[in-house]
Structure 1
Amino acid sequence: MAIEKGDFIKINYTGKFNEGQIFDTTDEQLAKDNGIYNPRGVYGGDVVIVGSGHTIKGLDEDFVGKEVGYTGSITIAPEKAFGPHNPALVETVSITKLTEQFKDQRPYQGMPVELNGRRGVIVQIIGRRVRVDLNHALAGKEVEYEYTIEEKIEDKIAKAQGLLSLYTGMPEIEIEVTDDVIRVFTPIELGFNQRWMVSKLTIASELIDKLGIPNLEYVEKHPYVPPTAVTEAEAPEAPAEEEKAEATEE
């Protein structure tokens, strides 16, 4: 059966630019070999909802009409990839505005920085001023994706787990699904995950809509940690005899 908008599918892919330079992949070994491995990333395939913007527009559109097991490639123009390069997003600022980010380093061309809450890179240094490009690193570039549609996911728990993994970078978060509620047991470490804090409402809305279940609950899961007994090494040392005597004399 052909893939349609709204389907949950699992894909493996590799993205390239500049005639073969890899910038993204679901293959862990390939990521390591090309110096783009992210130890906090999840490899082995992504679950996406077709037509929901979980990947770039040109790739998202290409899924429609394909069959499970399809393997192929597509070249995507900037307009349907990471957008055209916008000159308005290149700003020149005083070097002192970024001093705290240098951390005893001298600024250099290509250095990643943050400006007005947006990430960018230094593209030019002119005396005591720097030009910062806030465009996406691949803005204005044609990209190529090789991808395989591994499966169409029908199980509701697998759908929810796949979407949560895509947003949080954490595999197999515990989930319960009934006719009335999706219950997500969030591990304590998610409380420190910025992606989670930003996207939790979006995830809830998508799951309620796509799974057709009216309610979603987030339940914080705290593992039991037994109280630790004070060991001899941790116990305070008894004062030496001389110290006791001094204390008595005082």
Structure 2
Amino acid sequence: MKVERGDFVLFNYVGRYENGEVFDTSYESVAREQGIFVEEREYSPIGVTVGAGEIIPGIEEALLGMELGEKKEVVVPPEKGYGMPREDLIVPVPIEQFTSAGLEPVEGMYVMTDAGIAKILKVEEKTVRLDFNHPLAGKTAIFEIEVVEIKKAGEA
């Protein structure tokens, strides 16, 4: 039984940069081994409806035609992943937004804002430059994926 558009698929994955460094995984053991374990996170297979645009195109396309239990390595370039960095997603904000909240902005730190997660690019005298681009924007990612369940479209 091969994965087709409209099927609901559960799959595990390990995501790596081109240098081999693991940046994300659905396996708790791999996360612990690679030093990226997050206590609050639940590590388990990801479920998606193939063709619904719920995941990056590079992985969605790779899932098509896979079979239950099959493993595959997929190289995902930026245009099939998280896109290229966009200048309009780098936003200056007044430093008072941090200091009035009792926060000390530090370059490289990630912060949660009303508009989502951003990385502090630069701390200047009166402003802080926030980058709302995805951390993988502009990067090629390598994913090892394994199909663990397939529910054909229309199955209960």
- Aligned partner of 2:90 in structure 1 is 90
- Aligned partner of 1:118 in structure 2 is 116
Contact 2:9 2:47 in 1 (8 A): yes
Distance in structure 1 (CA, Å) of the matches to 2:36 and 2:70: 26
> How many aligned positions are there?
156
Structure 1 residue runs of 5 or longer lacking an equivalent are 155-209, 214-250
Distance in structure 1 (CA, Å) of the matches to 2:36 and 2:155: 37
- Aligned partner of 1:133 in structure 2 is 131
Contact 2:98 2:105 in 1 (8 A): no
Deviation at 1:55, TM superposition (A): 1.9
Deviation at 1:18, TM superposition (A): 4.1
SS for the counterpart of 1:60 is helix
Distance in structure 1 (CA, Å) of the matches to 2:11 and 2:101: 37
- Aligned partner of 2:33 in structure 1 is 33
Contact 2:94 2:126 in 1 (8 A): yes
Deviation at 1:90, TM superposition (A): 0.6
Contact 1:112 1:120 in 2 (8 A): yes
Aligned pair in 2 of structure 1 residues 116, 151: CA closer, same or farther (>3 Å)? closer
Q: Deviations over 1:151-186 (max 9, x none)?
A: 3136xxxxxxxxxxxxxxxxxxxxxxxxxxxxxxxx
SS for the counterpart of 2:19 is coil
- Aligned partner of 1:21 in structure 2 is 21
One-letter amino acid of the structure 1 residue matched with residue 83 of structure 2: G
Structure 2 residue runs of 5 or longer lacking an equivalent are none
One-letter amino acid of the structure 1 residue matched with residue 53 of structure 2: G
Contact 1:78 1:140 in 2 (8 A): yes
Q: Deviations over 1:24-53 (max 9, x none)?
A: 111101112233323333323222211122
One-letter amino acid of the structure 2 residue matched with residue 70 of structure 1: E
Deviation at 1:10, TM superposition (A): 1.7
Contact 1:4 1:65 in 2 (8 A): yes
Structure 1 length normalisation: TM-score? 0.57
Taking the TM superposition and a 5 Å limit, the aligned residue runs for 1:1-250 are 1-103=1-103, 106-153=104-151
One-letter amino acid of the structure 2 residue matched with residue 85 of structure 1: P
Give the alignment's Cα RMSD to 1 decimal: 2.2
Contact 1:101 1:113 in 2 (8 A): no
Distance in structure 1 (CA, Å) of the matches to 2:2 and 2:137: 32
Contact 2:117 2:132 in 1 (8 A): yes
Identity over aligned residues, as a percent?
33
Q: Rg bigger for which structure?
A: 1
Aligned pair in 2 of structure 1 residues 101, 113: CA closer, same or farther (>3 Å)? farther
Distance in structure 2 (CA, Å) of the matches to 1:84 and 1:34: 27
Ranked by relative contact order (alpha carbons within 8 Å, sequence separation 6 or more), the top structure is 2
Structure 2 length normalisation: TM-score? 0.87
Aligned pair in 2 of structure 1 residues 109, 102: CA closer, same or farther (>3 Å)? farther
Deviation at 1:99, TM superposition (A): 2.4
SS for the counterpart of 1:136 is coil
SS for the counterpart of 1:141 is coil
Deviation at 1:54, TM superposition (A): 2.6
